[in-house]
Amino acid sequence: MDKMSRALERAKMLVGMEVDEEQQAAEETSSTSFYDDFNRECTLTTKQSMLVFLNPIKFGVTFTFGNLLALGSTAFLIGPKRQVTMMLDPVRIYATAIYLASMIISLFCAFYVHNKLLTLLAIILEFGALVWYALSYIPFARSMVSKIMFACLDTEF
């Protein structure tokens, strides 16, 4: 029983809870609001929030599988045939190809290469490709973002 309580205390410390928080929560009255309870339970430590930089391989795998699940969920909602048709539309064929290639590169860097820097760069590439792919579904969004980026990066006065 003592081992279990120590393991529970270690788990609480890993998720950022203080060990005494449970006792304090039991002593509090039920007058606390849902928002207060939610904020108390949903706190991240600095280490947890910086997971990308501390362990980019783990983050890259979960981020890529999350993107694959998102594609699968949209295929479930609109149907796989329509999803593939929309992805291969001439307007977004290049965005789709770059997005799918970036997911493959991220998984390759995470599973095969095991290099944290390359995996982090692949995650950044995948995120940019995701944004560009998502913008392809909004009319004139990519041209607007391109014009804004060129205006911001233009060094000629």
Number of H helices, E strands in the chain: 10, 0
Q: What is the DSSP string of 60-123?
A: HHHHHHHHHHHHHHHHHHH-HHHHHHHHTSTTTHHHHHHHHHHHHHHHHIIIII--HHHHHHHH
Predicted pLDDT at 29: 46
- Do 60 and 124 lie in one domain? The reply is yes
Integer CA distances (angstroms), 108 to 105, 113, 114, 129, in order: 5, 7, 9, 16
- Do 90 and 145 lie in one domain? The reply is yes
* pLDDT tens per residue across all 157 residues of the chain: 566 677 667 777 666 666 555 544 554 444 567 777 777 777 767 777 676 677 888 889 999 999 999 999 999 999 999 999 999 999 999 999 999 999 999 999 999 999 989 999 999 999 999 999 999 999 999 999 999 989 888 877 6
Predicted pLDDT at 30: 47
Predicted pLDDT at 20: 58
- Do 67 and 35 lie in one domain? The reply is no
Q: Phi, psi at residue 127, to the nearest 5°?
A: -65, -45
Question: CB under 8 Å to 83, separation ≥6 — which residues?
Answer: 71, 74, 75
- Do 27 and 83 lie in one domain? The reply is no
Predicted pLDDT at 15: 64
- Do 8 and 70 lie in one domain? The reply is no
Contact 28, 85 (CB under 8 A): no
Its domain, for residue 6, covers: 2-48
- Do 63 and 22 lie in one domain? The reply is no
- Do 71 and 44 lie in one domain? The reply is no
The neighbour count for residue 55, using CB atoms within 10 Å, is 13
Predicted pLDDT at 43: 73
